[in-house]
Amino acid sequence: NAGVTQTPKFQVLKTGQSMTLQCAQDMNHNSMYWYRQDPGMGLRLIYYSASEGTTDKGEVPNGYNVSRLNKREFSLRLESAAPSQTSVYFCASSDTEAFFGQGTRLTVV
Amino acid sequence: GENVEQHPSTLSVQEGDSAVIKCTYSDSASNYFPWYKQELGKRPQLIIDIRSNVGEKKDQRIAVTLNKTAKHFSLHITETQPEDSAVYFCAGYITGNQFYFGTGTSLTVIP
């Protein structure tokens, strides 16, 4: 049972480049989330998906897009990366208890 | 929407002492309150949770209390050990909605 699998673990981008962070869960959860974590600011919600086929903005959605490809997978896309998007990104899934992926450390230079 | 506030932001205790972290929430629709521990460079992991129909829950050295009237809940760690050093997050959850996390408490247990 892998839980929540998130790729890649590390990424360096140049300003203006695009990339997609992948997330998959094998717990048959309905809800999936993308958070970013910055020092002193806790976990801030970017987007979430309460069920397959639905997505909603969280606290900090600007500069990001998401796709709930199916019940298992929820991807996060940065179309034109900016230095302000340097952060650690966590994917999570839940029915009640939330389970987190191992995180992606993204640096935009 | 819901707003979860967490205090203190940093906490240092001597090994063997108790640590208490407090959170308040604003939306009475919140009905599930988990606590997560995040060690340096790791993912947050659930350590204890409480539902709105329960006032207190214990699991060995950790306990959580919930006061629905006052809209606050607290994490209590007794007999602290160096391995308890980590960042702790509280959260409020509304069924079918999302988790609202506090900003975290960095706990340091001094040997």
Cα separation, B31 vs B41, whole angstroms: 30
Average pLDDT on A92-106 reads: 94
Q: Of the candidates B42, B46, B101, which has its C-beta nearest A97's C-beta?
A: B46
Element (H, E) at A49: strand A43-49
**Which residues of chain A from 6 to 45 reach within 8 Å of chain B, CB to CB?**
31, 33, 35, 40-45
Instruction: For residues A33 and A85, give the distance between their C-alpha atoms in angstroms, rounded to a whole number.
Output: 17
| The pLDDT of residue A1 | 60
Convert the pLDDT of each residue in A41-63 to its tens digit.
789 999 999 999 899 999 999 99
pLDDT value of position B37: 98
Q: What is the structure's pLDDT at B4? A: 94
pLDDT in tens, chain B (111 residues): 788 999 999 999 999 999 999 999 999 999 999 999 999 999 999 999 999 888 999 999 999 999 999 999 999 999 999 999 999 999 999 887 789 999 999 999 999
Q: Given this model, what pLDDT does residue A39 score?
A: 82
The answer to whether A93 touches A99, Cβ cutoff 8 Å, is yes
Residues in B closer than 8 angstroms to A103, CB to CB, are 43
At residue B104, the pLDDT reads 95
Residue B95: predicted pLDDT: 82
Nearest to B102 among A31, A42, A97 (CB): A42
Using CB atoms within 10 Å of the CB of residue A71, give its burial: 0 to 12 exposed, 13 to 18 middle, 19+ buried: middle
- pLDDT value of position A83: 97
Q: Residue A96 pLDDT more than 90?
A: no
- For β-strands B105-110 and B10-14, DSSP reports them as parallel
Report whether pLDDT(A2) > 80: no
- The chain-wide mean pLDDT, for chain A, equals 95
pLDDT value of residue A62: 97
What are the φ and ψ backbone dihedral angles of B84, each rounded to 5 degrees? Answer: -80, -10
Say which residue the tokens 């203190």 belong to: B8
User: What CA–CA distance (Å, rounded) separates B51 from B6?
Assistant: 18
Q: Which tokens is B54 given?
A: 């329960």
Amino acid letter for position B71: K
| pLDDT of B97 | 79
Q: Evaluate the CA torsion angle A91, A101, B41, A40 in order and state its sign.
A: positive
Chain B contact for A53 (CB, 8 A cutoff): no
